[in-house]
Amino acid sequence: MDVKIEESWKDALKEEFDKEYFMRLTAFVRNEYRQHTCYPPGNEIFNAFNLCPLNNVKVVILGQDPYHGAGQAEGLCFSVKTGIPLPPSLVNIFKEVKEDIGTVPAIVKDAQGKNMYDGSLRRWAQQGVFLLNTCLSVREHMAFSHSRQGWETFTDAVIKKVSDSQEHVVFLLWGGPARQKRKIIDTTKHYVLESVHPSPLSANRGGWFGNHHFSRCNKWLEAHGLAPINW
């Protein structure tokens, strides 16, 4: 199957694209986008791959499924388009970044012309942070509506491909579903950091704030001769 995706990923995943489950998944997704409003836009489903070629991957962050509100999702986990109000999980991510290493996102204007933080994480992706959701599409206002259709099988194969083919990658696993992926990762050569999910329900119970994942990640990268991420 000819999938429109960045060339290094296309080559690495070509066998996956020809499997029966992926063909069924493709038919399902195409039908959903024809009959319903779905996110992200069709040409952004593989944004995480297109913005971060396989050989550039230094960090993997796993999300669940895309934001299902209008104008939010852009094919990168936890990320929203520039100028869109920050979802609560992203607010908590930025709070931990600030507390951990002292940096904050760029200031942009919202639709009313007011200052706000830029919620687009494209700047992370372009530095080698692979922002992967376990499901890559969703129907509007229906969380997990595209789950159990094959996306999880595909993204598990993607995680394993990164683990097998790359060296010294940092995997940031936040929340129960993401932490279950540890078993796919070769922990003898990669660094896995786990914590609760940054959503308010989980973060406010303890375990998110003060996890220092961002500084710990950069220390690992630098120790292995890789440039740290400008979070």
Q: 147 is written with which tokens? A: 């789950």
Phi then psi for residue 215, to 5 deg, are -70, -40
Based on the residue annotation, tell me whether 65 is a catalytic residue of this protein: yes
Burial class of residue 71 (count of CB atoms within 10 Å of its CB; 0-12, 13-18, 19+) = middle
Phi, psi (deg, nearest 5) at residue 7: -60, -40
Residue 133 near residue 65 (C-beta atoms within 8 A): yes
- Considering 18, 65, 156, 186, which one is annotated as catalytic? 65
**C-beta neighbour count of 93 within 10 angstroms:** 25
Q: Retrieve residue 201's tokens.
A: 């329900």
Position 192, amino acid:
V
Structure tokens at 124: 């992370």
State the distance between the two ends of the chain, measured CA to CA, in whole angstroms: 36
Residues serving a catalytic function are 65
